């Protein structure tokens, strides 16, 4: 499959690159690294994302070239759909993107069922960025400092700063190789983790007041209501990283962030320690992800949503 993808890159000329809504470092870093590769090969490539690039990722090389209005799909020979377990994750333009003559999916989510014929899927990989690095290595492609910065960002963010259980040997080997090719770990980390707008900190302070514990203290959760955004001037993207906060508390095995959506639903983001599988719980509610990081959406008010989720999470003697 890897060789077939390389053939597409070598023999097609016009490429569309896209990723999921609510962009993160892995999606953006992977897109921009692939875009850099294609530009270096003399190909035409466009990175399209439905959502705007979060401010803390605007430093990424090539970020200014991302477009948010989908060009005519018939103008492309192939589309690379990155970091998406299904095509619908790209957003409102999924149907039009699906008309591109050749679809290639590169992803690392265990919930990916394979929505197109040509795909590189490895749930054992730390990130889609690691898979793009694998692809470039197989091509013996030159990785310039901009591409190295983008791929390092992808791996760094999806491993939680190399703290999560998906931080394997391949991820660390790739990161070391990318540093050797020009990625600056300190500069990248400062841009991502140390340039928060005041609104994010105000939102965090408000949300921390919602901290609660369930399932005998094994589960810690935070809740973000829509009014919290209004009162602090924060944006949904500013909740990035909030889900990890309860997990830092001794005794908490599962960390949850409930985020109120505008359609009488809550987005439920989950993180876990060790072998505790939150992907299976997310799948029960139509979501997915990885063993230690998953998400879903549940309809109802916050009390209803919590009751349904904790019924699935808590052991009988904890309810």
Domain boundaries in the chain? Answer: 2-193, 198-318
Residue closest to 98 by CA, chosen among 112, 83, 81: 81
Residue closest to 295 by CA, chosen among 281, 312, 275: 281
Residue 319 clears pLDDT 80, i.e. is over it: no
Mean pLDDT of 300-309: 96
Mean residue pLDDT of the chain comes to: 95
Residue 70 CA to residue 93 CA, distance in Å, equals 8
The CATH number, out of the four listed (3.10.129.10, 3.30.2130.30, 3.10.310.30, 3.40.50.300), of the domain defined by the range 198-318? 3.10.310.30
Q: For residue 111, what pLDDT is reported?
A: 84
Residue 194 clears pLDDT 90, i.e. is over it: yes
Residue 64 CA to residue 51 CA, distance in Å, equals 14
Residue closest to 37 by CA, chosen among 72, 80, 77, 76: 80
pLDDT tens-digit series, residues 69-84: 999 999 999 999 999 9
pTM: 0.89
Mean pLDDT of 132-150: 98
2-193 sits in which CATH class? alpha beta
Residue 95 clears pLDDT 80, i.e. is over it: yes
């Amino acid at each position: 499959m890897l060789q077939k993808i390389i053939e597409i890159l070598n023999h097609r000329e016009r490429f569309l690159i896209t990723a999921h809504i609510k962009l993160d470092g892995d999606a953006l870093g992977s897109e921009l690294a692939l875009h850099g590769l294609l530009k270096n090969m003399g190909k035409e490539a466009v990175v399209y994302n439905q959502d705007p690039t979060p401010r803390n990722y605007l430093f990424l090389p090539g970020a200014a070239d991302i477009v948010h209005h989908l060009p005519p799909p018939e103008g492309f020979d192939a589309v690379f759909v990155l970091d998406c377990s299904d095509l619908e994750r790209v957003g409102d333009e999924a149907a039009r993107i699906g008309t591109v003559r050749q679809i290639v999916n590169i992803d690392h989510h265990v919930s990916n069922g394979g929505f197109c014929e040509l795909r590189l899927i490895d749930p054992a990989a730390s990130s889609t960025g690691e898979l793009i690095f694998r692809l470039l290595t197989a091509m013996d492609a030159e990785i310039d400092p901009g591409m190295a910065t983008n791929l390092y960002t992808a791996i760094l963010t999806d491993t939680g700063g190399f703290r999560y259980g998906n931080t394997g040997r391949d991820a660390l080997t790739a990161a070391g190789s990318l540093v050797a090719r020009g990625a600056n770990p300190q500069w990248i980390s400062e841009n991502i983790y140390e340039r928060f707008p005041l609104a994010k900190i105000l939102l965090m302070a408000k949300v921390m007041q919602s901290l609660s514990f369930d399932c005998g203290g094994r589960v810690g959760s935070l809740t973000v209501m829509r009014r919290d955004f209004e009162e602090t001037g924060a944006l949904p993207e500013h909740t990035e990283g909030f889900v990890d906060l309860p997990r830092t508390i001794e005794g908490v095995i599962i960390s949850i962030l409930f985020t109120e959506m505008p359609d009488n639903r809550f987005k439920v983001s989950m993180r876990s320690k060790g072998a505790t599988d939150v992907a299976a719980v997310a799948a029960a509610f139509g979501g997915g992800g990885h063993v230690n990081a998953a998400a879903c959406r549940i309809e109802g008010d916050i009390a209803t949503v919590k009751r349904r989720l904790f019924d699935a999470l808590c052991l009988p003697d904890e309810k």
